[in-house]
Structure 1
Amino acid sequence: MASDEQATLLLELVRGLTAEVHPHAVRRTVTLDSHFDDLGIGSLELAELLRRAQDAFGVALPPHLLANAETPRDLLQAVRRSHAPAGEGRSTVTPLATTVAGSSAPATASTLLDALDWHLGATPQRIHIRILDESGHPDDITYEALHREAAAVAAGLLDRDVMPGDTVAIMLPTSRAYFVTFAGVVLAGAVPVPIYPPARPSQLADHLRRHTGILANAGATLLVTVPEAVSLGRLLRSNLASLRDVVVPAALMGSATGGALPRPRSDDLALVQYTSGSTGQPKGVALTHDNLLANIRAMGQATAVSAADTFVSWLPLYHDMGLIGAWLGCLYFAVPLVAMAPQVFLTRPSRWLWAIHENRGTISAGPNFAYELCLSKIDDAEIVGLDLSSWRLAFNGAEPVSPATIERFTGRFAPYGLRHNTITPVYGLAESAVGLAFPPLGRGPLIDSVERDTFVRTGRADPADADDRDALRFVACGQPLPGHEIRVVDATGNELGDRHEGRIEFRGPSATAGYFHNPDATRSLFHDDWLDTGDLGYIADADVYVTGRVKDVIIRAGRNLHPTELEEAVGNLTGIRRGCVAVFSSPDPSGGAERLVVMAETRGSDDKTAAALRSEIMATTVDLLGVAPDDVVLAPPRTVPKTSSGKIRRAASREIYERGNIGARPRALWWELARVRLRGTVPSMRRARRAAAALAFAAYAWVVYVVLAALVLLQLPLVPRLRWRWSIACRTVRLLARLTGTSVSVHGLDQLPQGPAIVVANHPSWLDGLALATVVPPSFRFVAGEVLEHERLIGFVLERLGAVFVERYEREHGVADSDKVVALVREGRSLVVFPEGHLARAPGLRPFHMGAFVAAAQSGVPIVPVAIRGTREMLRPEHHFPRRGSVAIAVGEPIQPLGTDWTAAVGLQCAARDVILRLSGEPDVE
């Protein structure tokens, strides 16, 4: 087809779509450079346009056009670059291995890293993830490849001074880079914070505002994103004090840093999952490794998941269902994960079903709208030969489950092998990691019909007669996962009986300890030891039925009205944009009762059409709720705000309504970017001021150190007695601390024995020796590596201060030096030893050398564990930039040897290391 013919055909498609979605609007001239926003083509319309273009031109268009295309010309260029047939996205792929010998789940794992290590040892070459690209071609990742590439990312993070416990934001699409980066953050001991990638440029302003709040709350030190978003990230950085750098994944993988990495503990933070914000501002749910593994194991038990399964997912990896339910669950149970980008599914939903067919998928999941999209956007011609007989669990959750959708989806795809009991409605929330209630395995969906009038007036869910056409229908979302509990309570917190609507609360091992850096929201989350889900529902025969959100309920004339049913019904009216309706209550300006408002997006523009639509909406509202709305607002497209997962943000809709901002055109992109830059001016100035202050302090500290060190060096050769020299050095160190404003606090100093002992301490910085010199008695002598003896200045100072030098590398010499240490202790000397032996840039407590513990066992003296905190933050190894800080030294109880042999020495080492690990707060990298 000639280029001119392609352009003409494409413009006909655009004009046809515009006329179809808003037939009563004034006709606009459509050119190749017309903006889709100006033509009233939003994301749903653009997805439909992409599908039509693929069929018309016989090509497979890249799904990223859904986010990037702004004009028909962008679409035309993509058409000219694409030559593959659109088809169903099918390709020939190697079957996935779905069985492994022996157990496929690491039952003893206490962290995500333990689970990864278990599979790395058991089946390193087993395919863990298969990523399908826009054409359906696979990119396979084995457990070994994931660990290798993630370790490179972890090294890059440590090179950028990312410390254990730091939060790292990940703003990446579904890709190999996402999986590797997330695992790399965990390997580095940091905490991943997934956030959704940039939306279309026309939505950039809202994207910036929402992400600034998330990154500020998370205190993210680093943002990892795609190259195209680096400039966006720098705009965000100018508004955030904590954000030090914005990088792409490739920049993290060039590090040469190696060695041991921190090992998180089971109660360490593993993830901060930000809620979708459907009822307000997003909140960061803090989840530990214990929380995640408890939820994953409970879901696995409820669904009988095994390595024989295959999970197919298009779900976004920045949401709990896609991240935890799909990927991390698969990681634990050795279930191969077949992943595709959400845009692939949205532009051609049949690709999801074909991916299940080709990979013999047994498990998949999606919110209710995904199943609706398959019903409305898949033609029979697209699925000739489709076989869904392998699909045993089709989870439907994350938003209200529609009984009609379940019935229609089952009926439509039953001829293609879909079984009725495959559809599995579930209930969960981020505050419980992801899952909370699952139905009995193999039961299939259960729909409850209740009397409408009784329910809306009293909250009692009485079963309706079989012929009651006005009945409300709710879907059973299952029973609490093993180890978890669910209850329904009234407004005063009293538990209700079966079939009485109230607030749903839960507790269990998956429950979060609270929202990250948000104590107020955390307090409102807990009622004693129960967590408030914010959902309304009832329990019948042990099943949970979710009826709506607490904040969305509208009380009118003594009736509790739920907006979801009305929003769906209004969205089905001709002329109303489906999925773009918000129903909410708003205070009456005159002081009366709250008003019922229906806000619906429409393309119609003339008065006659608008009047007809308002009448239809009024009639629909009366039919469903028994009351008329106080106000019907017909709004232009993209007025009703949604979360990143597509949920209606009713609170935000109410705010737009009350401010009178309906129909207000968004500001130009350049203006929004200028505002962001302007808002970042003050934080940037503060950042610059802090950097200048830090530089000035570093220069001052070095000057003070050099002057005091010179004074000590002048005195050491002249003072004859070791005790006097030691006293001079200690006084000088205390003076250095005073002049630099460094406080040194000591706890447990009275636990140092009167007789000979060996003090062992962690070694995070060059400052450790100076810090200990201010607190240990003069009778203690430091043990240092022999390599320091040959350093001209350091060796001279240590020798004059009585240090004992030992060889750590040459084995024969090292054994002899160990005997020397034993002899000194038997003579009654007390020693200070850093058993880690050397400094490392990466945080963490490293393996201990045995010398000090062998000496203690053989000489019968106690080991005194000492933990040092704060020195790493003041002067990190390999850095020469001292910072302000404070030092805390904790002295543990002496540990007596239980013998003189090697076993006794090992016991001393393990006991001392456990104490130091606990007192120091350092991660374990043994």
Structure 2
Amino acid sequence: MILPTPTASGLACQRTASFETIQEALEYAAGGRSGLNFYSGRGQLVETLPYAQLRADAIDLARTLLAAGLAPGERVALVAETDGDFVRAFFACLHAGLIPVPLPLPTTVGGKDGYIANLRRMTQSAGAVAALGPASLDGWLRLAVDGLPMKLLGTVAELRAAGGQGPGLPAADPEALLYLQFSSGSTRFPLGISVTQRALMANARAISAHGLRTTADDRCVSWLPFYHDMGLVGFLLAPMLTQLSVDLLPTREFARRPLLWLDLIGRNGGTISYSPTFGYELCARRAETASIENLDLGRWRVAGVGGDMIRPARLQAFSDTFAARGFGARAFLASYGMAEATLALSFAPLDRGLVTERVDTDRLERDGSAATPAADAPRARDFVRCGPVLPGHAMEVRGPGGAVLPERQVGRIFARGPSLMDAYFDRPDETLLVMSADGWLDTGDLGFMADGEIVITGRAKDLILINGRNVWPQDLEWTIETEIALLRTGDVVAFALDTAAEEQVVVLVQCRPVDQAERAALQEEIVRLIRARHSIEVSVTLVPPRSLPQTSSGKLSRAQAREIYRSGAFTPAEAARAAV
């Protein structure tokens, strides 16, 4: 019988990422008993990987990689399956001086051809000379890199079986490039972000010591993918850097059985776990028809929320549903970050739950002021405080001319600090667009400060300009999803199209009914709803379930949805678009 690694590492003291290099950190963690635990979609423990075993395997595999002709500094594309072999390959690359490049798994949108094309573009963008993945995707990976100059191609299992002793492993450099992390791609094609040893250590220390205040009694649980920064840094690298055990569920299995995530938290005494809002909502929905009597969430002290806009009403529903199972709303922890900052930039204070700022929506759209609404204000919206910037970092909200704005005035968010990337890999043109000479990063996000805490209101590129109003697409999406019972979070995406006359607002809605009368009624209801709530005329197109494009982090990609719409793929005759 396989047993999970214990929560207590057995080490004399916990070190919170106080290392020069990740190799040094793994050597220290290997002295204890903690490690990684991989579960199946049935909740069965299928593999344990103590840090001691990971270090031994990674060193052996690193020598094999060098024996295969790879040279330090070269990039290795790794399809990021949630299994031990991906982790072994990732750390093997680090020990060999190679640069691992985690690549995504297939999604439901785009199908085989779209996925293969995406892998190819990412591999070429990274200049990878080797590509490794799971056996289940070996054929697709080979198609993706067909014709590219590869020194090595196959599965990690095949490489481990081949063995081979190459030259001695290079010394770890605290200033070196460590890995490439592709951006989420919510507004454009993902770019490779250069993450250095220095940046990772700075961010992991800030996360562990200040954001989460981890202790040796903590245990992490995650279903987040390793190809996204929240999964890779938050639930693989940072836990290892603090010697914590992690229980891991593949992302696709969470989508099928979301309550398994909560079962793992209760079963193994999980204390730290994260999810975008939609993950909590999915659990609450599933609990409507499934038994939750055996769940024990009483030890869950950090229920992190990040990776997308935070929806407090959905989280309240989760809290209400699972309060009887020991979950406390004070465990919710709002945070803000991005891959360009390694992972995190801010955390709300621990053990206070969500704190919201209620804003007059009319004032917000008209002049960018986050004013408190009057009692008779026709429209208002709640935004969540995401806490102060991490120690050693700085954050500013700036206006169009670059001046720092006062509190409660919405502007573009800029950040600076030791966790930030040096550049987009091999893209100096893109780097210059977002990084200033003195190290300030233009995050592309909009928000305001409230009592020194950052409040995120949306992405700058997603804003819709209608008759002098700045309309947030999330407002339109959330109105529709909240007020129309048959729709769920993620079923709606809104964006603007430039026409000869003015911007046209398009709303795509995933529709499950097939009856034409029901579909027509749904379209008309949405048009009336948005006109009444937002005084905007919209064009509504119904699309099939699971057809809206998502980024690697599970966020809706409005940019990609816009391009698919423009191509005509979302306008079949039977969709009967309603344009008013």
Normalising by the smaller structure, the TM-score range is over 0.9
Match for residue 15 of structure 2? 105
Match for residue 577 of structure 2? none
For residues 374 and 181 of structure 2, what CA distance do their matches in structure 1 show?
A: 43
Are the aligned partners of 1:393 and 1:422 in contact in 2 as well (CA < 8 Å)? yes
Offset at residue 258 of structure 1 (A): 6.0
Shifted more, 335-344 versus 94-103: the winner is 94-103
Match for residue 546 of structure 1? 456
Q: Is residue 293 of structure 2 the alignment partner of residue 389 of structure 1?
A: no
* 3-state SS in 1 of match to 2:382: strand
> CA offsets per residue over residues 34-82 of structure 1, 9 Å max, x none?
xxxxxxxxxxxxxxxxxxxxxxxxxxxxxxxxxxxxxxxxxxxxxxxxx
Are the aligned partners of 2:37 and 2:246 in contact in 1 as well (CA < 8 Å)? yes
For residues 559 and 620 of structure 1, what CA distance do their matches in structure 2 show?
A: 18
Q: What amino acid maps onto 2:266 in structure 1?
A: H
Offset at residue 202 of structure 1 (A): 7.1
The percent identity for this pair of structures is 34
- Which of 469, 472, 491 pairs up with 1:580? 491
Are the aligned partners of 1:106 and 1:118 in contact in 2 as well (CA < 8 Å)? no
Match for residue 164 of structure 1? 72
Q: How does 1:265-414 map to 2 (within 5 A)?
A: 265-302=173-210, 303-379=212-288, 382-414=291-323
For residues 9 and 93 of structure 2, what CA distance do their matches in structure 1 show?
A: 29
Q: How does 1:655-666 map to 2 (within 5 A)?
A: 655-663=563-571
Q: Is residue 467 of structure 2 the alignment partner of residue 560 of structure 1?
A: no
Match for residue 237 of structure 1? 145
* 3-state SS in 1 of match to 2:405: coil
Offset at residue 574 of structure 1 (A): 5.3
Q: How does 1:550-699 map to 2 (within 5 A)?
A: 550-572=460-482, 573=484, 579-588=490-499, 591-604=500-513, 608-629=517-538, 631-663=539-571
Match for residue 117 of structure 2? 209
* 3-state SS in 2 of match to 1:533: strand
Q: TM-score, normalised by structure 1?
A: 0.59
Offset at residue 229 of structure 1 (A): 2.2
Match for residue 164 of structure 2? 256
Are the aligned partners of 1:478 and 1:543 in contact in 2 as well (CA < 8 Å)? yes
Offset at residue 442 of structure 1 (A): 1.8
Offset at residue 469 of structure 1 (A): 7.0
Q: Is residue 406 of structure 2 the alignment partner of residue 497 of structure 1?
A: yes
Match for residue 851 of structure 1? none
* 3-state SS in 2 of match to 1:102: coil
Offset at residue 455 of structure 1 (A): 1.1
User: 1 or 2, which has the higher helix percentage?
Assistant: 1
Match for residue 130 of structure 1? 37
For residues 238 and 170 of structure 2, what CA distance do their matches in structure 1 show?
A: 23
Match for residue 440 of structure 2? 530
Are the aligned partners of 1:127 and 1:140 in contact in 2 as well (CA < 8 Å)? no
Are the aligned partners of 2:4 and 2:48 in contact in 1 as well (CA < 8 Å)? no
* 3-state SS in 2 of match to 1:406: helix
Q: How does 1:760-779 map to 2 (within 5 A)?
A: none
For residues 636 and 133 of structure 1, what CA distance do their matches in structure 2 show?
A: 29
Change (3 A) 1:575 1:134: closer
Offset at residue 661 of structure 1 (A): 3.2
Offset at residue 570 of structure 1 (A): 2.3
Q: TM-score, normalised by structure 2?
A: 0.93
Are the aligned partners of 1:639 and 1:662 in contact in 2 as well (CA < 8 Å)? no
Are the aligned partners of 2:109 and 2:549 in contact in 1 as well (CA < 8 Å)? no
User: 1 or 2, which has the higher strand percentage?
Assistant: 2
Q: How does 1:460-499 map to 2 (within 5 A)?
A: 460-465=369-374, 470-499=379-408
Offset at residue 566 of structure 1 (A): 1.4
Are the aligned partners of 1:490 and 1:496 in contact in 2 as well (CA < 8 Å)? yes
Offset at residue 107 of structure 1 (A): 5.8
* 3-state SS in 1 of match to 2:128: coil
For residues 554 and 224 of structure 1, what CA distance do their matches in structure 2 show?
A: 41
For residues 94 and 264 of structure 1, what CA distance do their matches in structure 2 show?
A: 30
The runs of 5 or more residues in structure 1 that have no matched partner are: 1-90, 666-926
Offset at residue 140 of structure 1 (A): 2.1
* 3-state SS in 2 of match to 1:586: strand
* 3-state SS in 1 of match to 2:104: coil
* 3-state SS in 1 of match to 2:184: coil
Offset at residue 104 of structure 1 (A): 1.4
Q: How does 1:767-846 map to 2 (within 5 A)?
A: none
- Matched positions, count: 568
Are the aligned partners of 1:321 and 1:434 in contact in 2 as well (CA < 8 Å)? yes
Match for residue 51 of structure 2? 143
Are the aligned partners of 1:286 and 1:513 in contact in 2 as well (CA < 8 Å)? yes
For residues 468 and 92 of structure 1, what CA distance do their matches in structure 2 show?
A: 59
> CA offsets per residue over residues 621-654 of structure 1, 9 Å max, x none?
123322222x222334454322233222211222
For residues 374 and 452 of structure 1, what CA distance do their matches in structure 2 show?
A: 30
Structure 1 or 2, whichever has the larger Rg, is 1
Offset at residue 298 of structure 1 (A): 0.4
* 3-state SS in 1 of match to 2:491: strand
Q: What amino acid maps onto 1:132 in structure 2?
A: Y
The runs of 5 or more residues in structure 2 that have no matched partner are: 574-580
Offset at residue 157 of structure 1 (A): 0.7
For residues 578 and 511 of structure 1, what CA distance do their matches in structure 2 show?
A: 31
When the two chains are superposed, the root-mean-square deviation of aligned CA atoms in Å is: 2.2
Are the aligned partners of 1:119 and 1:334 in contact in 2 as well (CA < 8 Å)? yes
Are the aligned partners of 1:212 and 1:239 in contact in 2 as well (CA < 8 Å)? no
Shifted more, 226-235 versus 565-574: the winner is 565-574
Are the aligned partners of 2:462 and 2:473 in contact in 1 as well (CA < 8 Å)? yes
* 3-state SS in 1 of match to 2:344: coil
Name which structure has the greater RCO, CA cutoff 8 Å, separation 6+.
2
Q: How does 1:845-860 map to 2 (within 5 A)?
A: none
Match for residue 576 of structure 2? none
For residues 200 and 107 of structure 1, what CA distance do their matches in structure 2 show?
A: 37
* 3-state SS in 1 of match to 2:357: strand
For residues 475 and 202 of structure 1, what CA distance do their matches in structure 2 show?
A: 33
Change (3 A) 1:405 1:183: same
Offset at residue 602 of structure 1 (A): 2.2
Offset at residue 132 of structure 1 (A): 1.8
